Chains A and B, each alone.
Chain A
């Protein structure tokens, strides 16, 4: 709902939201890399860090996020979601968390975009930093390595919480009200870590139930190329380098795919890209498009080595200078100063620390109007620069980025090639067996069986049949091979794995099958009196036997 938000504010707000979304993705993905994150505080006023927080930008992640957003911003019904999932070395995967950045319609018209919203977004990012270390997936991601890896996926659109299993919990990171809506950041995380919950068929009890218990031998020490504390910008020397999906062992987290629902979004905004009017621009563009951005890329490196480069901050599109006109009389007094002036200045006495409501009572002062105007205008210059080169680059953009659907983000082999019977897996034994059972299934051809037996039978068969059928529907997650822990394949003909497979699905006990069972019960009952009579006859023999025992 557009109100009296002037165009400059609107542009700023859109820019803030866009970069907030990008930074959110960076924080989440970095928190799942499996390493401790460490960035330096810097007092130097280069101001190249958004929201005054030193959050590194991993180029691949930024690229993916931008691809998913495709120039749009989170809005009502269109949320940005980051899905974190776990994939074992055998190919099983399961969704662990979904982080959602949503926008609703509740507007806060009074709020000051350039200051309050900005600071509150910064605060929200700090909360996100803290909370990403608290959810269960953090411990899992710290232990990733040989046995499993953590993957992320970004999509834009409707939030899909189906893959989280039963009883998933949500935690709200925070909300920030803006004049165009309220931004909400939340996380839904899985509670039930039992592994086979994404599959429909019943496998009892999964030996590889909780993977995190396995001894994980970290393949690389902390100096691995996997984003240590001192991040070296991977893209600087070799242009665009994105780790491929196959490298999932080395580069632990960055396998990703686009999701089907967002395809329509993509096509709509492709046209949008080509028009030179997008308000939100990419000042952090990955160097796919020529030299205009090398400058900005080098500037963005400032945040990692603040002492090294002395690039003037005026060229950057980030809000750098906030002129301070702070009123120190009462911390709770809400100052709503206009941009054009009329604000009491106390230039030499800024407030110490943070105000109570995080209301930074600073504004653009008239004396600094020129200065501040310089910043937005310079940002606009870069925006136009990036616009035009973006216009040039967008055909390349369209050609180079892949909008095709990647089936099943985490499957290394195409689904069609993985059939149930072609591989030596218990599933292969499972499927034909169930087909047989179904024909002979008394439940299918209902006999006159007693009630007590049928639930047992029914449950056995429904698990089996549903396993057989829905194993096909759940294409994305297919177990390729079964390697039980601590077992060696080549020593004995019968090893643990084979043993498990063979005795995985034992035939039913005869006493449990309906027709035989019922009859034997009846027979047993009938034969009891006879048996008692026989025993009574032999009682003396029994007594003698007992005495010999004494």
Chain B
């Protein structure tokens, strides 16, 4: 049986997973939804109208179009929420995939149950990447700034002092100065 298959791969941050998946799923379902069939007598039917709705994403700079159906949206959000939780709880490397399968039911006689024959499958492979996280940034901060103070944050600094005797030049101080200068160079 020929079943069409499409595979998409996305790399997103953790907080973008939900919106990315919803965008893909809704877009595919927009194309694979018709209006409601309305049956009349004489065995005819007419097709209702599909409304559309723009949805802005909060974590991705993107807007997708979905069908105007709250029930469908709810169903998708539920599944995507489960997927997101599973991804998060898996720990690991943040790889997962979700597939949207369109199938046709084939009624079979008892005792065999109905068959579901897929005719199109969309698979989305998700790779969760972590961009520069807050923790990394924090450690960098400690290397440059003095974060110990409560109210201000100066650069890391050091103050030293020395007492010079009356002559001003003694062997030890001169030697010390020479060595310091050499090392400083």
Q: List residues of chain A with CB under 8 Å of any chain B CB.
A: 36-47, 49, 52-55, 123, 126-127, 129-130, 133-134, 138-139, 142, 303, 306, 320-325, 331-332, 345, 347-348, 350-354, 356, 365, 367-368, 371
Interface positions of B from 104 to 152, Cβ below 8 Å from A: 104-105, 117, 119-120
Q: Which A residue's beta carbon lies closest to that of B56?
A: A36
Instruction: Give the docked Cα–Cα distance between A350 and B54 (Å).
Output: 31
Q: Determine whether the beta carbon of A371 is less than 8 Å from that of B51.
A: no
Which residues from chain A contact B33 at a C-beta distance below 8 Å?
A: 354
A-B CB pair tally, cutoff 8 Å: 141
Query: Are the C-beta atoms of B68 and A356 separated by less than 8 Å?
Result: no
Asked if residues B49 and A127 are in contact (CB atoms below 8 Å), the reply is no
Pick from B30, B48, B120: contact of A126, CB under 8 Å = B30
Tell which of A52, A129, A142, A368 touches B35, judged by Cβ atoms closer than 8 Å: A52
Q: Is B46 located at the chain interface by the 8 A CB criterion?
A: yes
Q: Are A41 and B43 in contact (CB under 8 A)?
A: no
Q: How far is the CB of B184 from chain A (nearest CB, A)?
A: 16
Q: Which residue of A lies closest to B106 (CB)?
A: A328
In the complex, B44 has a CB within 8 A of chain A = yes
Chain B's nearest CB lies how many Å from the CB of A46?
8
In the complex, what distance in Å separates the CA atom of A83 from the CA atom of B121? 36
**Known: A332-B2, A353-B32. Is A129-B43 also a contact (CB below 8 A)?**
no
Q: Which of B35-66 contact A (CB under 8 A)?
A: 35-38, 40, 42-56, 61-65
User: Counting CB contacts under 8 A, is B74 at the interface?
Assistant: no
Q: Which of B40, B64, B65 has the most CB of A within 10 A?
A: B65
- Return the contact of B52 from the options A37, A306, A332 (Cβ within 8 A): A37
> Which 7 residue pairs across A and B have the least CB separation, nearest first?
A347-B43, A43-B36, A39-B51, A45-B46, A36-B54, A54-B51, A43-B48
Query: Which residue of the partner chain, among A129, A134, A320, A351, contacts B30 with CB atoms under 8 Å?
Result: A129
Interface size class of B (residues with CB under 8 A): 35 or more
Cα(A302)–Cα(B177), bound, Å: 93
Q: Are A54 and B120 in contact (CB under 8 A)?
A: no
A301 to chain B, nearest CB (A): 14
Those of B89-105 within 8 Å (CB) of chain A: 102, 104-105
Taking a contact as CB atoms under 8 Å apart, the answer to whether A371 and B27 are in contact is no
Cβ-defined contact, B50 with A54, below 8 A: yes
Determine whether B5 belongs to the interface, using a CB cutoff of 8 Å to chain A: no
Which residues on the B side are within 8 Å of A320 (C-beta)?
46
Query: For residue B35, which residue of chain A has the nearest CB?
Result: A52
- CB <8 Å contact, B50 and A323: no
A39 touches which of B34, B53, B117 (Cβ 8 Å)? B53
Q: How far is the CA of A496 from the CA of B78 in the complex (A)?
A: 55
Q: Does B67 contact A (CB under 8 A)?
A: yes
Residues of B with Cβ closer than 8 Å to A?
2, 4, 27, 30-38, 40, 42-56, 61-65, 67-69, 102, 104-105, 117, 119-120
Additional pairs, 5, CB under 8 Å, beyond known A321-B45, A350-B45 = A36-B55, A41-B69, A130-B64, A142-B63, A354-B102
The reply to whether A54 and B52 contact each other, CB–CB distance below 8 Å, is yes
Let me know if B35 and A43 touch, CB within 8 A: yes
A contact residues around B30 at 8 Å (CB) = 126, 129-130
Report how far A46 CA is from B47 CA in the complex, Å.
9
A320 vs B40: C-alpha distance in the bound complex, in angstroms?
12
Question: In the bound complex, do residue A129 and residue B65 qualify as a contact, i.e. CB atoms below 8 Å apart?
Answer: yes
A336 to chain B, nearest CB (A): 20
Main secondary structure of the interface of A (DSSP, over half): loop
Min C-beta distance of A176 to chain B, whole Å: 14
Closest beta carbon of chain A to B111's beta carbon, Å: 22
Contact A368 B68, CB 8 Å, known A36-B63, A54-B51 = no
Q: Shortest distance in angstroms between B8's beta carbon and chain A's nearest beta carbon?
A: 14
Nearest CB of A to B182, in Å: 16
Q: Tell me how far the C-beta of A291 lies from the nearest C-beta in chain B, rounded to whole angstroms.
A: 27
On whether the beta carbons of B51 and A47 are closer than 8 Å, the reply is no
Does B49 contact A49, Cβ atoms closer than 8 Å?
A: yes
Beta-carbon contact of A40 and B43 below 8 Å: no
Decide: B52 and A39 in contact? CB cutoff 8 A.
yes
Say whether, besides A40-B51, A40-B68, A41-B69, A123 and B43 are in contact (CB < 8 Å): no
Given contacts A37-B53, A41-B50, contact A321 B40 (CB under 8 A): yes
Are B54 and A354 neighbours in the complex by a CB distance under 8 Å? no
How far apart are the CA atoms of A351 and B27 in the complex, in Å?
Answer: 22
Chain B residue with Cβ nearest A356:
B119
Q: Are A127 and B44 in contact (CB under 8 A)?
A: no
A52 touches B50 (CB 8 A): yes
Complex Cα spacing A224 to B107, Å: 53
Task: Give A209 Cβ to nearest chain B Cβ, in Å.
Answer: 20
Q: Is the CB of B48 within 8 A of A44?
A: yes
Instruction: Name the B residues within 8 Å of A139 (CB-CB).
Output: 61
Tell me the bound Cα distance from A320 to B31 in angstroms. Answer: 21
- A368 to B65, alpha carbons, bound, how many Å? 36
B104 x A42 contact (CB < 8 A): no
Contacting residues, chain B, for A322 (C-beta < 8 A): 44-47
Within the complex, the shortest CB–CB distance from A338 to chain B, in Å, comes to: 18
The residues of A that contact B31 with a CB separation of less than 8 Å are 123, 126-127, 130
A353 touches B42 (CB 8 A): no
Q: Which residues of B contact A353 (CB under 8 A)?
A: 32, 34, 102, 104
- Collect the chain A residues with CB atoms within 8 Å of residue B56's CB: 36
* A-B CB contact pairs (8 Å), 11 listed: A36-B56, A37-B52, A37-B54, A49-B49, A53-B50, A126-B30, A130-B64, A306-B49, A324-B44, A368-B42, A371-B44
